Amino acid sequence: MPPNRPKTKILVDGGDPQETARVRQLLGFVDGQTTNPSLIAKNPEIQRRIASEHTLSPQEEKDEYRKIVQAISPLVGDAGVSIEVFADIDTTAEEMVTQGEEMFFWIPNAYIKYPCTGEGLRAAEMSVAQQIRVNMTLCFSQDQAAAVYAATRGSKEPVYVSPFVGRLDDRGENGMDLLQNIKKMYRSGDGHVHVLAASIRHVEHMLAALALGVELTTVPAKILEEWAKRDFPMPDQDFGYKAINARGEPLKPIPYKELDLKLPWQSFDIVHELTDTGIRKFVADYRSTLKRSA
């Protein structure tokens, strides 16, 4: 158990209730959980069903997803469980909201995940008007974070935005700069959007996110286990984050942009290649659970 509980809420990034229970045992708490179609596809029960040549229908897949989040829900604290709608490149906001409205009532502490696309932002705008809590996923730019802020203005519940640090690092950009830039931009806002550092690849990412004072971070169990093995280090005032890739090469800085949070969300340049790639990967992983295995 860490000697001092971090101010930043710690969520488990996964799709297996047993793993969440293990982390809770190790840390003494888990503030919340994020799931996504790729993580759900890896769930041991879903894998067992696929391996036993059982073809999952979309309805069965949804039932499994519901059972998984219902098992995780009581294990976590007030950061809740994020549940992701099925969203392909051409899925409309209305189709996303229909799913979100159903998923939101699966558990009492749900956050509905929509992608940072035009349709995802429209879905968020409609959802917050109905007091459905949202987590805007696949965020790769400051413009997308500004659009999340503008689209959800007036939300009675905190809105989460999930910048994906590791996937930016993967293509040579310093994902931690994006976190820092979004935090800086939100300083002029009303605080209704909470930054959830996602796509965390190692303990240093997590510590840098804590040092930046993000409201939440979602971390895979194996990284939280590594944090425990290292006796729960915390970033002190001398903490320095080395923006390097796995080969030790420096990551390219992401410059800060002056953006006006008062503008309508449609005025921001929300297109990002990694958002589209991320959607395609989630769709492919979701579809893999529907295939009959040989």
Q: In 10 A of CB 293, how many CB atoms?
A: 12
Q: Out of 33, 34, 155, 275, point to the residue binding ligand E4P (CB under 6 A).
A: 34
Site membership for ligand E4P, residue 20 (CB under 6 A): no
Nearest CA among 133, 91, 132, 98 for reference residue 115: 91
Site membership for ligand E4P, residue 288 (CB under 6 A): no
Tell me the one-letter amino acid at 9. K
Distance between CA atoms of residues 233 and 177, nearest Å: 22
Nearest CA among 83, 80, 101 for reference residue 31: 80
The nearer residue to ligand E4P, 164 or 259, going by C-beta atoms, is 164
Site membership for ligand E4P, residue 164 (CB under 6 A): yes
Q: Out of 36, 91, 142, 181, point to the residue binding ligand E4P (CB under 6 A).
A: 36
Q: Out of 166, 189, 233, 235, point to the residue binding ligand E4P (CB under 6 A).
A: 166
Scored b (16 or more CB within 10 A) or e, 141-162 reads: bbbbbbbbbbbbbebeebbbbb
CB of 162 to ligand E4P, least distance (A): 5
Sign of the CA dihedral running 146, 152, 156, 157: negative
CB of 126 to ligand E4P, least distance (A): 21
Q: What is the total count of residues that contact ligand E4P (CB under 6 A)? A: 11
Q: Cβ(213)–Cβ(197) under 8 Å?
A: no
Phi and psi, residue 103, nearest 5°: -60, -35
Q: Taking CB under 6 A as the criterion, which residues in 71-130 touch ligand E4P? A: none
Per CB under 6 A, the segment of 158-166, 237-245, 255-263, 286-294 that binds ligand E4P is: 158-166
Nearest CA among 2, 12, 17, 24 for reference residue 220: 12
113 is catalytic: yes
The nearer residue to ligand E4P, 6 or 256, going by C-beta atoms, is 6
Site membership for ligand E4P, residue 218 (CB under 6 A): yes
Pair of tokens at residue 16: 């297996």
Selected catalytic residue, list 9, 62, 113, 262 = 113
Q: Taking CB under 6 A as the criterion, which residues in 124-153 touch ligand E4P? A: 137
Distance between CA atoms of residues 103 and 147, nearest Å: 24
Q: Out of 72, 151, 193, 198, point to the residue binding ligand E4P (CB under 6 A).
A: 198
Distance between CA atoms of residues 108 and 263, nearest Å: 33
CB of 65 to ligand E4P, least distance (A): 14
Q: Cβ(22)–Cβ(257) under 8 Å?
A: no
The nearer residue to ligand E4P, 256 or 281, going by C-beta atoms, is 281
Distance between CA atoms of residues 82 and 73, nearest Å: 10
Q: Out of 9, 122, 167, 205, point to the residue binding ligand E4P (CB under 6 A).
A: 167
Site membership for ligand E4P, residue 162 (CB under 6 A): yes
Catalytic residues: 113
Applying CB under 6 A, the residues found at the interface with ligand E4P are 13, 34, 36, 137, 162, 164, 166-167, 198-199, 218
